[in-house]
Amino acid sequence: MRLLSSLFRLLLLLALPVLLFGLLMAVILLAGIGAGKILMRFVALSLFEAAVLSLIAGSVAGYLTWRILRTRVDEDSDFVDDDPFGAIPTTRFAKDGRELTQAGLVQYLLANAIYSAWMAETELAWSRNDAEWKELAVQLAQEVTTWLRAKPPQTRQVRVGADVLRRELSKLGLGEEADALYGPSLRAVRETVEVSQDHIVEIIREQSWEK
C-alpha cells in the first residue's frame, strides 16, 4: 500500500505541470475567443480569424511590455550599489575575484567609515569628485591596515593614536588638504577599530590576515 501511495504521489507531481500548462492554455484560448467576439463587432471576420488575430495581438503586446519593463529594470540596476552595507563595494578589496580575506574585510570597514566621515563634511565633499574620495579612502584604509598588521601577536588592545593617523594620512601626499581630513579620519578609524576591537585583536593574535 505504501508503494502504491508513493507511486500515486509521484504521478501526481509529474502530472501537475501538465495540468497547469493545460489550464493556462485554456485561459488563453478563452481570452482569445472573447476578444475575437468583441473584434467581430467592428471588423467583418469569422470567429476563428478574430480569435487568432486577438491572440497574436495579445502576444505581441505582452512581449513588448516585458521588454520595456526589463529595460527599465536594467537601467535602474546601474544605480544600485552591489553592496548595500557600504558605498565602496567589497569587490574593491577582494583579490582576483575571490572572497574577502581578513585583511580585505578590515580595509573594507575602514574605507567605508573614512569615506562616510569625509562626505559628512560639506566643504570636503565638493572639493573632489566621488571616485577620487573613494580611492583616497581605500588608500588610507590600506595604510592603517598595514600598520595593524605590524602589531605583534601578543597585542591585547589596539588604539590608533593621533600621531599614527597623521603619519599614515601624510603618505597620501595631499599636502595642506590632509589637515582638513585629519579630524574626521581619526574619528572614523578609531570608532571602527573600537567596534571591531575583539575581532582585530584575534586576527593579530592568530596572524590570520590572509585567511
64 and 118 in one domain?
A: no
Q: What is the pLDDT of residues 77-93, one digit of tens each?
A: 333 344 544 688 888 88
Count of alpha carbons within 13 Å of 76, Cβ hemisphere only?
A: 6
Instruction: Let me know whether 99 and 36 are in one domain.
Output: no
Residue 120 belongs to some domain of the structure: yes
**Grid cell for residue 151:** 602589531
Same-domain status, 118 and 161: yes
Rounded mean pLDDT of 178-200?
91
Q: Are residues 133 and 182 in the same domain?
A: yes
Provide the whole-model pTM. Answer: 0.59
**Number of domains within the chain:** 2
Rg (CA), the chain: 31
158 with 193, same domain: the answer is yes
What secondary structure letter does DSSP report for 150? T
Tell me what percent of the residues of the chain surpass a pLDDT of 90. Answer: 34
Give a yes or no: residue 200 inside a domain: yes
Q: 104 and 186 share a domain?
A: yes
Say if residue 144's pLDDT is above 90: yes
The CA distance from 145 to 165, in Å, is 11
Phi, psi of 203 (to 5 degrees): -60, -45
Identify which of 116, 135, 120, 118 has the alpha carbon closest to the alpha carbon of residue 173: 135
Which residue stretches of the chain are H helix?
2-40, 47-77, 102-119, 122-125, 130-149, 162-170, 177-195, 197-206
- What pLDDT, in 10s, does the model give residues 34-88? 655 665 666 555 656 555 555 565 565 555 555 555 554 444 433 334 454 468 8
Whether 198 maps to a domain, the answer reads: yes
* Range of the structural domain that residue 196 is part of: 90-206
Q: Is residue 170 part of a domain?
A: yes
83 in a domain, yes or no? no
Residue with grid cell 473584434, as numbered in its chain: 39
Whole-angstrom Cα distance, residue 197 to residue 158? Answer: 7
* 96 burial type by CB count under 10 A (0-12 exposed, 13-18 middle, 19+ buried): exposed
Predicted pLDDT at 92:
87
Q: Are 168 and 136 in contact (CB under 8 A)?
A: no
